[in-house]
Amino acid sequence: MELEALRERLVPFVRAKLGDPAAEVTWLQQGTGHAGFSYFFDVETGGERREYFLRLPPPGVKLEGTADLMRQVTAIRALEGTGVPHAPIIWAGTEPEWFGVPYFVQPRLPGDTLKESYPELFTDAQLREMARAAMRALAGIHRVPVDRLGYLGDFWGYEFDVTRWDRFAERAAEPELLALQPRVKQLLLENIPHEAPIGLYHGDFQWSNVLYSPEGELLAVVDWELCGVGPTYNDVGWVLVFSDPAAWAHERSSRMPHADELEAWYWEAAGGRPGDIRWFKALAVYKFAIITGFNLMLHRRGKRHDPHWEEIAPSMQSNLEYALKMLGG
């Protein structure tokens, strides 16, 4: 939606929601959402300024999966009272009169995620405490009662989690770098960990999806597009492999703690006996290798310009080699 057209819709929206016929939208800017359109806007009401974040689905798509904003709303609202830092849902709905599509609005928080230059603001000791706070938050997410998550549906099964990537692997660029994919897939299917706990998972828990203040306080876990109900260890495996240099071949620079420390902090926060997450680490890099190949194909064919995948491509093979080690293959 063009910014001016959105502004014309936002003014009556905020006046109705705030009960202030004089409220004005004083600033509006588009964000950088992945599975939808995000916007930041400011409102003057009653002599004060309020800052908001608006998410809309992308235009012209079926409102399902990542485009179903009510899935994100369900997950975020389920965090209320859990102690997990999050940006609460202020307004959300599916009524078309405001924007023509479903929407949700949250407060805009004064921080940033751990990406690009932001970590340079902190010492190594601060980054360790920030990472530890993130692992505590992840354990809190996994404790959310399942009865709050009805809209998210049921777990579709481990086999689906593995085989859903077949169609992407078939279209990936650099297929020789995915030569180990059939063997890793076979071992994943042969070693399914049926005893893993089922609950709320974030789906993309990593450093670019946790928001910190300039002082290093964890403000919120953000970007819930891939959330669902399933094995919670999927999140653990995902964040750990991104902090384990052994899984990667391309040049990476990170001052965040090693995966071993992160895992220890997670089990400390989760309580009880540590579980075996090797299968979930293998699944994480299996998925990422295929995602890399698929996105590289889109880039090279001019369908989605993103040269960053050229830098990551050398890790496709090392991802799968790491998966084989996790699976004992």
List, for residues 201-212, the tens digit of each pLDDT value: 999 999 999 999
Same domain membership, residue 91 and residue 72: yes
The CATH number of the domain holding residue 166 is 3.90.1200.10
Does residue 119 register a pLDDT over 80?
no
pLDDT of residue 205: 97
Q: Do residues 84 and 122 both lie within one domain?
A: no
pLDDT of the residue at 121: 87
The string of pLDDT tens digits covering residues 210-248 is 999 999 999 999 999 999 999 999 999 999 999 999 999
Which of 8-12, 57-61, 238-242, 301-305 comes out lowest in average pLDDT?
57-61
pLDDT at 100 over 90: yes
Contact 116, 71 (CB under 8 A): no
pTM, to two decimals: 0.94
At 240, the amino acid letter reads L
Does one domain contain both 12 and 58?
A: yes
Find the domain containing 274 and state its range.
112-326
What percent of the chain is modeled with pLDDT above 90? Answer: 88
Task: Provide the domain count of the chain.
Answer: 2
The residue among 107, 138, 153 that closes a domain is 107
Does position 35 have pLDDT exceeding 70, yes or no?
no
Q: Of 75, 107, 139, which marks where a domain is finished?
A: 107
Are residues 38 and 155 located together in one domain of the fold?
no
- For 271, other C-beta atoms within 10 Å of its C-beta total 8
Q: What is the mean pLDDT of residues 295-323?
A: 96
pLDDT at 149 over 90: yes
Domain match, 143 and 255 both: yes
Assess whether 215 and 272 both reside in one domain.
yes
Mean pLDDT of the chain: 94
Do 101 and 122 fall within a single domain?
Answer: no
Task: Give yes or no: residues 20 and 73 share one domain.
Answer: yes
Q: Which of 83, 107, 131 delimits the end of a domain?
A: 107
> Is residue 26 domain-shared with residue 159, that is, in the same domain?
no
Residues 185 and 319 in one domain: yes
**219 and 149, same structural domain?**
yes
Same domain for 96 and 147:
no
pLDDT digits (tens, 9 = 90+) for 252-274: 878 899 999 999 999 999 997 88
Task: Identify the CATH number of the domain in which residue 17 sits.
Answer: 3.30.200.20
∠117-119-121 over CA atoms, to 5°?
90
